[in-house]
Amino acid sequence: MKEDKDARWFELECVPKEYIFPKEYRPQNLDSPVCDSIPVISLAKSKAENGHSQPVEEILKASQELGFFQVINHGISEKTVTDAMNVLKEFFDMQAKDTTTKTAPHKKGYIYTNSTDFAKDGVHLWRENFKHPCHPLEECIHLWPDTPTRYQEVIAAYIVEIQKLSTRILEMICEGLGLEQGYFKDTSEVQFLSSNFYPPCPDPSLTLGILPHVDPSLITILYQGGSTGLQVMKDGQWVNVGAIPNAFVVNIGNQLEIISNWKFKSAKHRVVTSTHQTRRSIATFVNPSPNCIIEPAKNLVNELEPTLYKASQNLVNELEPALYKPSQYKDYVLHSNAFGDDTATIQNGLR
Ligand code: OGA
Ligand code: NI
């Protein structure tokens, strides 16, 4: 091992034992080829041919089958995204160097997790993470880091664009599901940002960047800077999400799975590490407002009174009972411990 006292926690020749997951969690078959089964959807305007436009059809299909897709031609400028990636890189670099600026982690809703924070049963994840609330932007922005100096300006510009993109995607989802336009309008906000830094790891077969989970969001929009490592569970197998420069990865969160009455799937995903690549990602969680009641959309449910039920046995295939009970989003978050150890802090920051 290197003796350099300035070395960062990951600059090692072997994986320290606190980062080695029990066998059942360790990733396997890491050398299998990248499987490009995650649909890549162009949002460029396309003519509607009797029915939905092509992106709507593709989003509908991907959300039903896998719950993950990538979008290209999304209209967000490369500069907005590169600026955000650069300022976050600077932020993480500063955490490593300067102990006096170790964020202001106790401001409302702020969470900086370095690699020594426990993830599961005392094992550490191979990553650093920084999360904070984003909504309402004008109230949150001054609680964000003021170093790097451009942090607030650059990240606010990024969030504004992500909000527009998410509105657009949710409108297409409304159309695809046959929900009235604006169904999500007042209840979907980019509530918080979670950025990740996954450094190279001496032995990826022993470690994980993020444990398998589903997102407690409506949708999550992730930028992964053309890097690999994200994997999605598909038919019982982990498949890789391909590295596509300038694309955003969109996944269906479990709140949209509920609203769609399980027509859409919220897929389990995780991040594996790499010996040579540094992965940086920005996840933005588009969530319902805390007081919003989440339940299957009324016009996706078709239930009959029990007395009518018998008479309609021949209609049984058309019945679509609600598969989930209504719950306020904030109760859901609390009861399901949606953000693990960070749940209470995040909950306090949600508006
Ligand atoms: C998440 C997540 C994946 C990534 O933050 O929920 O799944 O690539 N992130 O960072
Ligand atoms: Ni996730």
Decide whether any atom of ligand 1 lies within 6 Å of the 195 Cβ. Answer: no
Position 4 pLDDT exceeds 80: no
Position 2 pLDDT exceeds 50: no
Report the distance separating Cα 159 and Cα 223, nearest Å: 12
Report the distance separating Cα 43 and Cα 41, nearest Å: 6
For residue 317, name the pLDDT band (cuts at 50, 70, 90).
low
Classify residue 320 by its DSSP letter: B
Query: Separation of 215 CA from ligand 1 center, angstroms?
Result: 9
Convert the pLDDT of each residue in 203-231 to its tens digit: 999 999 999 999 999 999 999 999 999 99
Decide whether any atom of ligand 1 lies within 6 Å of the 284 Cβ. Answer: no
Atom 10, ligand 1: residue with shortest CA distance: 281
Chain Cα centroid distance, residue 255? 12
Nearest residue to 60 via CA among 234, 187, 250, 191:
250
Q: What is the mean pLDDT of the chain?
A: 87
**Are the CB atoms for 295 and 256 separated by under 8 Å?**
no
The pTM score is 0.92
Terminal CA-to-CA distance of the chain, rounded, Å?
46
**Are the CB atoms for 235 and 268 separated by under 8 Å?**
no
Q: Are strands 237-240 and 293-294 parallel, antiparallel or unpaired?
A: unpaired
Nearest ligand 1 atom to the CA of 283 is: 5
Convert the pLDDT of each residue in 53-104 to its tens digit: 899 999 999 999 999 999 999 999 999 999 999 999 999 998 877 655 454 4
Decide whether any atom of ligand 1 lies within 6 Å of the 269 Cβ. Answer: yes
Atom 4, ligand 1: residue with shortest CA distance: 281
- Mean pLDDT value across residues 325-335: 92
Coil, strand, or helix at residue 73?
coil
* pLDDT of 347: 77
* pLDDT of 104: 47
**Are the CB atoms for 292 and 284 separated by under 8 Å?**
no
In terms of pLDDT, which residue wins out, 242 or 95?
Answer: 242
- Mean pLDDT value across residues 173-188: 90
In terms of pLDDT, which residue wins out, 315 or 156?
Answer: 156
In terms of pLDDT, which residue wins out, 2 or 143?
Answer: 143
Nearest residue to 194 via CA among 107, 133, 118:
133
Report the distance separating Cα 137 and Cα 298, nearest Å: 31
- pLDDT above 90 covers a percentage of the chain that reads 66
Residue in this structure with the two tokens 């890491």, named with its chain if needed: 30
- Mean pLDDT value across residues 288-294: 92
* pLDDT of 61: 96
- Most confident among 105-109, 237-241, 339-343 (mean pLDDT): 237-241
Convert the pLDDT of each residue in 123-166 to its tens digit: 899 999 999 999 999 989 988 998 899 999 999 999 999 999 99
Neighbours of 8 (CB within 10 A): 15
146 phi-psi bin (left φ>0, alpha ψ -120 to 50, beta other): alpha
- State the burial class of residue 295 (Cβ atoms within 10 Å of its Cβ: 0-12, 13-18, 19+): middle
Query: Separation of 177 CA from ligand 1 center, angstroms?
Result: 26
Coil, strand, or helix at residue 294?
strand
